[in-house]
Chains A and B, each alone.
Chain A
Amino acid sequence: MNRLVKFFDGSKNKMILSALFFLVLLLIPIVLRISGYENESYVEGVLILCMMWAAMTLSWDLLMGYMGIWSLAQQVFFGIAAYTSSMMNYYLGMSPWLGFLIAPIVAAVVGGLVAIPVLRLKAAPYIIIATMCLGEIVRLVFTNLVDFTRGELGFWQMEAFDDVFGINMNGADKIPYYYLIFIIFSAITLVCSLIAKSHNGLAMKAIRDSQEAAESLGVNSTEIKIKIFIISAYMAGFCGVFYAHYMKILTPTDMFSQSMMTEFIAMDVFGGIATTRGPVFGAFFLTIIMESLQGLDKYKLLIYAAILMITTLLLPNGVMNSSRTLKLSLLGRLTKHGRTESDIDAEAGNG
C-alpha cells in the first residue's frame, strides 16, 4: 500500500511528463507542416486557444487555488490589457508589440487596486460579490464611454503584430502566433510553478488554510496577497494583448462579462486547483472537447455539462488531483484499520 502511495507522489515522473508535454507542443506545427496536413491551421488555431486559456487559468489559480481568494475578476485584467493595447494602436498608432510592454503593467496596476478592497473581505461570498460587481462596473463603463472605447461597437480590425526578424505576422500563417503564445504560455507556467515551489508558495497555502495561524507564524498575508494579485493580473495582461491582436475583435460584453470567467472556473476546478498541471489539463481538455463537439451543435452544451458533472462527482478534487484524492482515501483506510489508541481516545473525548 505504501509503495502505491509513493508512486502517486513521484515528482520525478511529473517532471518528465511536463517536459514531454512542452516538447510535443513545440513540435506539433513542424510535424504538421512537413506532413502537409490539410487542416493544419485549424489544429494550430485550436491549440492557440488552448494555450491562451491555460495561461489565463494558471494566472487565476494563483489567487483561487493557492490562496483561496475567490476573485471573479480575472477577465477584467485580461480585457483591460486587451483594450489598452488596442487603443494605443487605434488612437496613437503604436505598434502592438509595445502593447506587451505597457498593457500588462496597466492590468497589474488595476490588479493592485482591486486587491485593496478585496483584502478587507474575509469570507469567499463577499469576495465573489465584490469582484463580480467590478466586472459589471467595468463592462458598463466601457459600454458607455462611447467617445473613448467606441461603446458596444468595440474595436475590430486592429493591426496585427508588425513583422519581426523577417517573419510575416499578418495572420495568414498561424505558426508565428502559435509560437508567440507558446512562449507566453511556457513563461507563465514556469513562473507559476516557481511561485508554487517557493517559500511564498507554502505561505500562500497557509493563508488559504488558516490566515490567523499563518500570521501568527510571521506570514505577512497583506503583502503576499497584494503581490500575487499584481503578478496574476500582469500575467493575464499578456494574454489580453495577445488576444487583442490575434482575434482582432473586442467588445465590452465579450471581454468583461462573466461568461469568460465561468470558463476559467470550469477549467481550473475540472483540472485540479492548486497545481500547475490541473489548470493546463483542464484548459486543453475542455477547449478541445468544445471544439470537437462543434458538429453536434445543439447538444454541445449538454454534453459539455455532462462531462463536467460526471468528473466532479467522480473526482471531486479535479482530474490532476485524483492521485491525491486516492492517496487521502488510502491513508484514511490505513488509519481506520491500524488505528492507534490515541485516535480512539480522541474520538471518545470528542463524543
Chain B
Amino acid sequence: MLRIKNLNAYYGDVQVLYDVNVEVNDGEIVTILGSNGAGKTSLMKTICGIETRRKGVIEFNGENLINLPAHKLITRGITLTPEGRHLFPELTVRENLLLGAYAINKKINDTYEKVLEMFPRLKERLSQFAGTMSGGEQQMCAIGRALMSNPTFLMLDEPSLGLAPNIVEQVFDIIKKINKENGITVMVVEQNANIALQTADRAYALENGEIKMSGDAKDMLRSPDIQKLYLGL
C-alpha cells in the first residue's frame, strides 16, 4: 500500500531523516519505534508534507505523493492524527467530528453514526467543547475525527501521549478493532514500545533519523537489542 524509498527530510538546512525506507502492506498494522528526537514525528509530518522539505519517493497505491500538498492527502484516503491529538479545543465534539469529513463531498451520515457507535462516550458529549474532555476522551475524539473521512490508511502519532496505562490499552484495543473490523491499514508511531509491538504486525526502529532495525513485531519483542533499548529490560 505505502512504499517509502530513500526519503530524506530537512527543517531548513538541518537534515532530520536519512534515506528512510518503509513499507506498509494492505491490512497491516505497522509501528515505528524510537526514543525522543529519533525523528518519528518528523517522519509522519514528512509523509504528509507538513513543515518539512523532502526528497525521495513516497508511493501510495502506485502514486508518488512527494509533490502533493498536505491538504490533498485526505482525498487519497490517508488521514493523520497528529502528535498531541491537535483537537480543536474551542469547537464542540460534534464540530470536531464534522471537520474530519471536511474534504469529503459525499453524504456522511452513515460514517457519522458508525463513528459514534464505536465511541459511545463521544455520543454523550457531542455538544461539549473538545478541550474540556479528559485526555482519553480527547484521543478517542481525535481517532473518531480521523475516521470521519473513511480513510483506507490511518497514521497515528503517539496515541499514548499523556494517557494513563489502562487508557493506553483501551486506545490500542480500538486501533486493533479499526484494523480488523474496518479493514483500515494503520501506521502508528510510538514511544511505548511494549504495547506498540504487542499490537503491530511489523515494526521499524528509528534512531537519529535512520531506520536501524525492522522485522516482525513478535520477533522484535523478543530481540535483546530492542529489549535493552526500548523496553528497559
Q: Is the beta-carbon distance between A217 and B82 smaller than 8 angstroms? A: no
Nearest residue, chain A, Cβ from B142? A213
Given the interface pairs A203-B99, A350-B162, the reply to whether A213 lies near B73 with Cβ below 8 Å is no
B contact residues around A218 at 8 Å (CB)? 71-75, 102-104, 149
Q: Decide yes or no whether A300 CB sits under 8 A from chain B.
A: no
Q: Decide yes or no whether B79 CB sits under 8 A from chain A.
A: yes
B contact residues around A205 at 8 Å (CB)? 88, 90-91, 95
One digit per residue, 1 when the CB lies within 8 angstroms of any chain B CB and 0 when it does not, for chain A 314-351 equals 00000000000000100110010000101101111110
Q: Decide yes or no whether A72 CB sits under 8 A from chain B.
A: no
B contact residues around A220 at 8 Å (CB)? 69, 71
A contact residues around B61 at 8 Å (CB)? none
Q: Is the beta-carbon distance between A202 and B102 smaller than 8 angstroms? A: yes
Give the complex CA separation of A205 and B164 in angstroms: 30
- Of the listed stretches B107-115, B130-138, B181-189, B223-231, chain A binds B130-138
A contact residues around B1 at 8 Å (CB)? none
Q: Decide yes or no whether B197 CB sits under 8 A from chain A.
A: no
Q: Is the beta-carbon distance between A217 and B164 smaller than 8 angstroms? A: no
One digit per residue, 1 when the CB lies within 8 angstroms of any chain B CB and 0 when it does not, for chain A 84-109 equals 00000000000000000000000000
Chain B interface, number of residues (Cβ within 8 angstroms): 43
Give the complex CA separation of A350 and B135 in angstroms: 9
A contact residues around B98 at 8 Å (CB)? 202
Given the interface pairs A328-B132, A346-B164, the reply to whether A221 lies near B87 with Cβ below 8 Å is no
One digit per residue, 1 when the CB lies within 8 angstroms of any chain A CB and 0 when it does not, for chain B 86-102 equals 11111100010011101
Q: Decide yes or no whether B12 CB sits under 8 A from chain A.
A: no
Q: Decide yes or no whether A210 CB sits under 8 A from chain B.
A: yes
One digit per residue, 1 when the CB lies within 8 angstroms of any chain B CB and 0 when it does not, for chain A 178-205 equals 0000000000000000000001001101
Q: Decide yes or no whether B213 CB sits under 8 A from chain A.
A: no
B74's partner among A9, A202, A217, A343 (CB-CB below 8 A) is: A217
A331's partner among B100, B132, B137, B162 (CB-CB below 8 A) is: B132
Q: Is the beta-carbon distance between B82 and A212 smaller than 8 angstroms? A: yes
B164's partner among A212, A221, A348 (CB-CB below 8 A) is: A348
Smallest CB–CB gap between A341 and chain B, Å? 9
Q: Decide yes or no whether A216 CB sits under 8 A from chain B.
A: yes
A contact residues around B164 at 8 Å (CB)? 345-346, 348-350
One digit per residue, 1 when the CB lies within 8 angstroms of any chain A CB and 0 when it does not, for chain B 134-154 equals 111100000001000100000
Q: Decide yes or no whether A215 CB sits under 8 A from chain B.
A: yes
Q: Decide yes or no whether A291 CB sits under 8 A from chain B.
A: no
Smallest CB–CB gap between A342 and chain B, Å? 5
Give the secondary structure class of A's interface: helix
B contact residues around A209 at 8 Å (CB)? 87-91
A contact residues around B90 at 8 Å (CB)? 205, 208-209
A contact residues around B48 at 8 Å (CB)? 216
Give the complex CA separation of A350 and B136 in angstroms: 11
Q: Decide yes or no whether A214 CB sits under 8 A from chain B.
A: yes
Q: In chain A between 205 and 245, which residues have their CB closer than 8 angstroms to a CB of chain B?
A: 205-206, 208-210, 212-221
One digit per residue, 1 when the CB lies within 8 angstroms of any chain B CB and 0 when it does not, for chain A 291-315 equals 0000000000000000000000000
One digit per residue, 1 when the CB lies within 8 angstroms of any chain A CB and 0 when it does not, for chain B 54-75 equals 0000000000000001111111
Give the complex CA separation of A219 and B96 in angstroms: 13
Give the complex CA separation of A206 and B145 in angstroms: 13
A213's partner among B87, B129, B135 (CB-CB below 8 A) is: B87
Q: Is the beta-carbon distance between A206 and B88 smaller than 8 angstroms? A: yes
Give the complex CA separation of A217 and B75 in angstroms: 9
A contact residues around B134 at 8 Å (CB)? 340, 342-343, 346-347
Give the complex CA separation of A218 and B89 in angstroms: 18
Give the complex CA separation of A215 and B50 in angstroms: 8
Q: Decide yes or no whether B128 CB sits under 8 A from chain A.
A: yes
Given the interface pairs A214-B99, A342-B136, the reply to whether A328 lies near B86 with Cβ below 8 Å is no
Given the interface pairs A218-B149, A219-B102, A342-B137, the reply to whether A202 lies near B95 with Cβ below 8 Å is yes
Nearest residue, chain A, Cβ from B162? A350
A contact residues around B127 at 8 Å (CB)? 9
A contact residues around B149 at 8 Å (CB)? 217-218
Give the complex CA separation of A244 and B205 in angstroms: 66
Given the interface pairs A218-B72, A349-B164, the reply to whether A213 lies near B86 with Cβ below 8 Å is yes
B136's partner among A202, A219, A328, A345 (CB-CB below 8 A) is: A345
Chain A interface (Cβ within 8 Å of chain B)?
Answer: 9, 199, 202-203, 205-206, 208-210, 212-221, 328, 331-332, 335, 340, 342-343, 345-350
Chain B interface (Cβ within 8 Å of chain A)?
Answer: 48, 50-51, 69-75, 79-82, 86-91, 95, 98-100, 102-104, 127-129, 132, 134-137, 145, 149, 162-167
- Closest 4 A-B residue pairs measured CB to CB? A218-B103, A349-B164, A213-B86, A209-B88
CB pairs A–B below 8 angstroms (16 shown): A199-B102, A202-B91, A202-B102, A213-B82, A213-B86, A215-B70, A216-B79, A217-B74, A217-B79, A217-B99, A217-B100, A218-B74, A218-B75, A219-B99, A328-B132, A349-B163
